[in-house]
Structure 1
């Protein structure tokens, strides 16, 4: 019988788990002649156990490939390589190595850099490097680039696999993944993420737009394009509405407002009759003012949602950090209580605030030392002249709120 799988543990995820599962299916197919076992697949042990230890995770986090300087250098090299590609194509320098020697040397240098970058990332991530689809694309570009250079230096026909040069432009898309998490590019990343997240809705909207364009194309061809009287008055009628395909192009031109006023609109209104003008108005309302604005609204709404979600996440992180700081200040309060009475007076309070670490913690909470000293009376809720730990923490929270309201004002 086919090998059974272990039960009772929760399923995990990972590249190794997927690879082992494929191997498992292959063993069952070879030994027992069946791929589908006829029952629901249970998670394998490789899916249930995490394979990345804390030491390995720390090694990856401190690896040179995770450094901001390395990421920034990679982004600069990608942009420079893309700009150089455009200059080479615009310069029309030819395909032979002798004709493009400077660009060829630059290709060698860029190829060496990206090859080294790939090796560093593979050293950092191991086989998990090939889990990311962008790494697959980059790997294929590097292989084709090396092949291109090899052909260029060994044969006279250097244009044999110049497709590698064109594919290098795909590396520019990697910039979007490199800027993730960088505060300077947070706005750009938000727009990219919003566009990608709304892609499914955009596809459906695009399909609906195609249906609308085709429907209006049929209507224009039927109402305007097949009328002999209109063709006599409008000599370019066959060009714009002579067939369904041409009418669809005309409708798209009107929706995008591309040179539509003089050549199309005036003739449809003046020579196309009432129905021609009515169809034109419907195209403008439904297409230009309707569907195109829906597309923009979808992306804007998605970006707003992601921004709100990010602000909520940042707010939770800030709140957690503030709670940690208040807990540490509570411990500092206990240390400042020299007589062990569980309370501190104003002198002890001022002495405690002179500590550099406490000053730093208060500054992180948005409270200056002077503000804390001045609000001693506010913290002393029972007016006993001393502070308890509870009064101290609650007082800091009140002072923090007052400081924030003053900043807003």
Structure 2
């Protein structure tokens, strides 16, 4: 029972179903808020349907949490997402089954109970965070945003410092300008945008995104041309240099996070391989009836239903004999445990059929044989070259000996 529940929890279909429930719940939260804006009566059939749907969602979350405790036991609370689920389910039970009943039954319109009730309703939106982890690409984007949180905080701090410095400069150059008392147009612009330091910083905040700033700096520059240095400095430092610098830092952080993700994926893939190899070793042990350390065609045909289902899911082949023939590249009629486990694992991580993997193994085997033949041929050629040199040396020695013999014979005569 526990194993079956664990298989259900780890299946992609279950994740898709829970993700759909969370998405529907988030949509219902928005519809509920819209109904409150419209002041719909609790007796309205749409409001009642929404209330029933909310109770159904809560029941689904309770069942899911119970399945996790059943499959993983008490140690599942070490997972932060399970703790998050416990908090949401507890707040949901408190809000849906106790607070709403008590508030509406007592008719208390006090601020305290109503605010607690609203906070409980707002916590329903927190369930949408769980939706993010159900989709890998979406979660990668959110995680990239979270890893950039520190950068954004320091960016805000640096932006505040820069705006404060330019605000003080603006106060001296614009707000305290003698022309405020001489030109009504200049004084009007100062009154609207540069009346004090907080208003100046708020005005300069528009320069971050260049939000309709032309109507601010252009009249001032026409009246006081030297202010062009001030406003050009703001535009260069804030929206151009600072924002591009922040973008570069965030992109660099994203690259580092991607590298970390690749390392994490490699570790996850290795853990997955080890789990599958353990399961395949169990299957091999079950198939090896005679304990010879090898599996024959007759033994694999006697495979159990559970083991057969696992092999079918991994290899997409329903006939165990076809799997055996695909792995038995050398046609030996037997498979050892290494060939069996490694062959099926490579098929599991590959997107090509097992027949293609068999052809790949055969091609590699042919390449290995050809390489050995070439090495033997090179060795033979080397050895034959040595023999030829020896023969030439012997012939030379014989010729020299013959010439010496003839010379000696001629002297004696």
Shorter-chain TM-score category?
Answer: 0.5 to 0.7
Q: Which has the higher helix share?
A: 2
What's 2:100 paired with?
A: 149
Secondary structure class of the residue paired with 1:242: coil
Alpha-carbon spacing, 1:67–1:174, altered in 2? closer, same or farther (3 Å) = farther
What's 1:107 paired with?
A: 51
Shift of 1:317: 5.5
Secondary structure class of the residue paired with 2:50: helix
Alpha-carbon spacing, 1:312–1:67, altered in 2? closer, same or farther (3 Å) = closer
The yes-or-no answer on 1:303 pairing with 2:283 is: no
- Among 39, 49, 55, the alignment partner of 1:94 is 39
The yes-or-no answer on 1:268 pairing with 2:220 is: yes
Shift of 1:249: 0.8
Distance in 1 separating the partners of 2:193 and 2:265:
54
Alpha-carbon spacing, 1:113–1:85, altered in 2? closer, same or farther (3 Å) = closer
Cα contact 1:253–1:259 (8 A) shared by 2? yes
Q: What 5-or-longer segments of structure 1 have no aligned partner? A: 1-54, 338-347, 386-409
What's 1:283 paired with?
A: 234
Question: Deviations for 1:180-208, whole angstroms, at most 9, x for unmatched residues?
Answer: 3x5xx322212211222232232222122
Which is greater in Rg?
2
What's 1:382 paired with?
A: 372
Distance in 2 separating the partners of 1:173 and 1:94:
25
Using the size of structure 1 for normalisation, the TM-score is 0.60
Question: Deviations for 1:239-269, whole angstroms, at most 9, x for unmatched residues?
Answer: 11111111111011111222222x2132232
Q: What 5-or-longer segments of structure 2 have no aligned partner? A: 282-287, 297-327, 351-355, 376-413
- How do 1:7-406 and structure 2 match up within 5 A? 62=6, 68-91=12-35, 92-94=37-39, 96-98=41-43, 100-118=44-62, 120-121=64-65, 124-125=68-69, 126=74, 129=77, 132-133=83-84, 135-151=86-102, 153-156=104-107, 161=114, 164-165=117-118, 167-180=120-133, 182=134, 185-230=135-180, 232-234=184-186, 235-261=188-214, 263-274=215-226, 276-315=227-266, 349-352=329-332, 360=344, 363-364=347-348, 368-380=357-369, 381-383=371-373
Distance in 2 separating the partners of 1:205 and 1:281:
21
Distance in 1 separating the partners of 2:84 and 2:152:
22
Matched length: 309
Alpha-carbon spacing, 1:79–1:365, altered in 2? closer, same or farther (3 Å) = closer
Alpha-carbon spacing, 1:311–1:141, altered in 2? closer, same or farther (3 Å) = same
Secondary structure class of the residue paired with 1:94: coil
Alpha-carbon spacing, 1:176–1:97, altered in 2? closer, same or farther (3 Å) = closer
Question: Deviations for 1:68-122, whole angstroms, at most 9, x for unmatched residues?
Answer: 4444333323322322332343453216413x54224312331342245236415
Using the size of structure 2 for normalisation, the TM-score is 0.60
Distance in 2 separating the partners of 1:164 and 1:302:
40
